[in-house]
Amino acid sequence: MSFTSLGRLLAAAAVGLCLAVFGSAAEAKPAYQTTEVAPGLYSFGAGMAFNAFMITDGGVIVMDSFDADFAKASLEAIRKLTDKPIKYLVYSHNHYDHISGGAVFKAEGATVLSHQATADWLKSHPSPDVVMPDRTWSGAKSELKLGGKEIDLLYFGANHGEGMTVFRFPKEHAIYTVDLVVPKRVAFTYMPDFSPREWERTLAEMERLDFDKVMYAHNAPFGPRSSVADQLKYLQDLRAAILAELKKGTPFMKVPDTVKLPQYETWDGYEEWLPMNAWRVLLEIAMGV
């Protein structure tokens, strides 16, 4: 090994160490923030994890718990605003990374609620970190009312995970949508457990709802209504670009690395995840699923 290559190796190790140190420091103290999106309606979290909660005269409704540490921090944030009881913890869908740590709210007396499809999946795929729902709802819509406030629980069918619930707050003109809209980011890696076509259909149906603000689970606490259309447009542009490559005769295996969408260059994950996104949609085009 030459001095030059040893030097490069040490420099790389030093960078790696710094990243590791910063990474663990960031993990130890996430800069969690509570954001009031509308009177009584809050987003809580930081960076890659935001849940939602609503304070009513009859108690608090929490949507998603992420993990035990997040749930504890979320409960602390709620307790800074109210000492009303936590009445409900509502799951958005079945994925462990969004609904672990529910025991924190269950211990406060919360009723854990999910769509029936979420509960069915959890029954056959239990996790020690996930509290089973106490109650379920089924069909396309259910109204959760508490202390003079209301949340519409909406199910659009298959799109991502099982029993994916979009929360609509009619009086607050807002929705909380988990994983289906992530602002200014391409889709996550290989779009795990997404059906891209059904995702597009769902976003088009969501656009018909009445709301002004969109609360997210990733990247930002909330943003404008237009972020739903932006997410849909990205998926449509990706599909169109893949179909154009196939039409041009680009070899199937080369399509994902050939597709470019320069209009999304500034979005998070563009360089690394665009080819992965393209693989997922290409396989759906080829296989039907």
Give min distance, CB of 36 to Zn ion, in A: 26
Give min distance, CB of 98 to Zn ion, in A: 6
Q: Write down the residue that tokens 């160490």 correspond to.
A: 17
Give min distance, CB of 160 to Zn ion, in A: 6
Residue nearest to Zn ion (CB): 95
Contact 229, 204 (CB under 8 A): no
By C-beta, is 199 or 222 nearer to Zn ion?
A: 199
Give min distance, CB of 93 to Zn ion, in A: 6
By C-beta, is 45 or 161 nearer to Zn ion?
A: 161
DSSP annotation string for 232-277: HHHHHHHHHHHHHHHHHT--GGGHHHH---GGGTTSBTHHHHHHHH
Q: What is the largest CA-CA distance in the chain?
A: 73
By C-beta, is 187 or 259 nearer to Zn ion?
A: 187
Measured CA distances, 61 to 44, 86, 118, 138 (Å): 13, 6, 18, 19
The strand pairing partners of 222, in sequence order, are: 215
Judged by the rule CB under 5 A, the positions of this chain that interact with Zn ion are 95, 161, 179
Which two structure tokens, joined as six digits, stand for 145? Answer: 């009312």
By C-beta, is 98 or 106 nearer to Zn ion?
A: 98
Helices 270-287 and 196-206 cross at an angle (nearest 10°) of 100
By C-beta, is 179 or 284 nearer to Zn ion?
A: 179
Give min distance, CB of 163 to Zn ion, in A: 11
Which two structure tokens, joined as six digits, stand for 256? Answer: 């994902």
Give min distance, CB of 195 to Zn ion, in A: 12
Q: Which residues have C-beta within 8 Å of that of residue 96, sequence separation ≥ 6?
A: 127, 129, 130
By C-beta, is 155 or 255 nearer to Zn ion?
A: 155
By C-beta, is 102 or 161 nearer to Zn ion?
A: 161
Residue 186 class from Cβ within 10 Å (0-12 exposed, 13-18 middle, 19+ buried)? Answer: buried
The length of the chain is 289
Helices 226-248 and 196-206 cross at an angle (nearest 10°) of 140
With H, G, I as helix, E, B as strand and everything else as coil, classify residue 61: strand
Contact 268, 184 (CB under 8 A): yes
Give min distance, CB of 97 to Zn ion, in A: 7
By C-beta, is 95 or 149 nearer to Zn ion?
A: 95
Give min distance, CB of 188 to Zn ion, in A: 9
Which two structure tokens, joined as six digits, stand for 263? Answer: 């209009």
